[in-house]
């Protein structure tokens, strides 16, 4: 099976998204890149039924390499992001807080220093019908200088050098959006200055450890 390990990882991330409530039913999609190929979740399949064999493999030009089912309707979005960035993984969710926030603002403000992990305040791509080249172009623009964006009245996209990082960023973005929604509901939130976000970004660049013995 082509890209067997990567397809298994894509399927596992899809199931984790469902288990943590970041997607419901067949919403959202996941992909990962290996050279000139990507492994991407299929369209309209519940994550509980997703297996490595059902994750499709496509070329960066959209051609099918090995795919038993139709790919995600957002394949154009994934291909456009890979063409425009150095991302190796993409997670697209319809998570509640991120989706609600996307209907209220044009940018997720610096309510918490966690936004530094995405490169700064997170842009909201203008609404466009799902699965269209228009939406794909809007997402690419919103991701400029960032590893995350929201899609107006739709959901969120996070990217990373690997699937675990993209998943971790999806969880973090949902948390930031939830914090903003709670604060905004209670009053006028106090925001952090751009200088502080830049300072934190520098500190985060060397943050994180692995257990002894893990490479």
* For residues 72-77, average pLDDT: 97
Average the pLDDT over 142-164 and give the result: 98
198 catalytic per annotation: no
User: Is residue 162 over pLDDT 80?
Assistant: yes
**What pLDDT score does 45 carry?**
93
Q: How far apart are CA 114 and CA 201, in angstroms?
A: 9
pLDDT at 210: 61
Cα–Cα distances (Å) from 170 to 67, 164, 186, 196, in that order, read 26, 10, 25, 22
Question: Considering 53, 64, 66, 74, which one is annotated as catalytic?
Answer: 74
Contact 11, 55 (CB under 8 A): yes
| Domains of the chain as residue ranges with CATH | 4-204 (3.40.225.10)
pTM assigned to the model: 0.94
Q: How far is C-alpha 46 from the chain's CA centre?
A: 18
Instruction: Taking residues 57-77, report their average pLDDT.
Output: 96
Tokens for 163? Answer: 């699937």
CB-CB contact of 109 with 189 (8 Å): yes
The pLDDT tens digits for 81-122 are 999 999 999 999 999 999 999 999 999 999 999 999 999 999
Return mean pLDDT, the chain: 95
Region 42-47 average pLDDT:
93
Distance CA(142)–CA(183), nearest Å, equals 24
């Amino acid at each position: 099976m082509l890209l067997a390990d990567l397809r298994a990882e894509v399927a596992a991330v899809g199931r984790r998204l469902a288990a943590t409530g970041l997607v419901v039913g067949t919403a959202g999609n996941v992909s990962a890149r290996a050279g000139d190929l990507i492994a991407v979740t299929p369209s309209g399949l519940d994550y509980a039924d997703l297996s490595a064999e059902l994750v499709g493999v496509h070329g960066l030009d959209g051609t099918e390499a090995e795919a038993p089912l139709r790919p995600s309707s957002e394949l154009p979005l994934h291909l456009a992001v890979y063409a425009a960035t150095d991302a190796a993984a993409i997670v697209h969710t319809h998570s509640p807080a991120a989706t609600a926030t996307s209907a209220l603002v044009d940018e997720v403000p610096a309510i918490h220093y966690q936004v530094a992990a995405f490169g700064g305040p997170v842009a909201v791509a203008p609404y466009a019908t799902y699965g269209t080249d228009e939406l794909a172009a809007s997402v690419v623009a919103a991701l400029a200088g960032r590893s995350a964006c929201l899609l107006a009245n739709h959901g969120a996209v996070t990217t990373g050098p690997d699937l675990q990082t993209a998943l971790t960023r999806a969880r973090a973005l949902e948390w930031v959006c939830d914090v903003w929604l709670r604060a905004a509901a209670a009053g006028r939130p106090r925001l952090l200055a751009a200088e502080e976000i830049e300072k934190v970004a520098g500190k985060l660049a060397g943050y994180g450890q692995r257990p002894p013995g893990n490479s």
